[in-house]
Amino acid sequence: MYRWLRNTHLLAGLFAFLAVLMYGFSSIGFAHRAWLPLSPRVTVAHVILHPADRTNERAVARELMDERGMRGDLRDGKVIPAGFAFRIERPGVSYAVEYTKDTGEAMITTRTAPFMGIMTAIHKEHGLWHEDAVQNFWGAFLGIVSAALIVLALTGIYLWFKLHKERRIGLVLLAVSLGFSATVIALLGTA
């Protein structure tokens, strides 16, 4: 049993390693925004569209996705005097679209984040309900990584109890980690 749990612990840690490293790296973008360039590159384009239904924002968004290669989730649809406006978003890229029904013209403002902007957007990405298959794959992958981290923690606790020489340093590290985490949570809660 020990050998099986040790191998499971090792495999879970190796599997989760890159995802945890990416999350650690991308959290720098949240904690130290002034250090890193997060301003997006903005471009504006005007295109003429011929959707099957000019009164439906989903039809216009579908044409943009199919004909112009835009990927992401449809968000924030609203009616404006000339037609409607909406956004198509995925981590690191946002397309703001203003569509004029009478002329079929769409003004597309594209905001493309730099590398750290994409990393922080991926850091917040979640779920399996996206229209973009890549985002759904990422959500499924993170679910598996989360399960691997739980397995890593549980097998680590078991192995810690089995290795008598490591108990003291493990107890010290656990106490320091819990103390630091509890202190930061308490300080953040009172701020």
Per-residue model confidence as pLDDT tens for the chain (191 residues)? 888 888 888 889 999 998 888 888 888 877 777 777 778 899 999 988 877 667 778 888 888 888 888 888 888 888 888 888 999 998 889 999 998 888 888 899 999 988 888 888 888 788 888 888 888 888 899 899 999 999 998 888 888 877 777 778 878 888 999 999 899 888 887 75
Class of domain 41-113: mainly beta
**Location of structure tokens 């720098």:** 28
The helix or strand, by DSSP H or E, that contains position 60, with its residue range, turns out to be: helix 57-68
Residues of CATH 2.20.25.80 domain(s) within the chain? 41-113
Sheet with 105-112, edge to edge strand ranges: 41-48, 105-112, 93-100, 83-90, 73-80
The model's pTM is 0.69
Structure tokens at 100: 């004029």
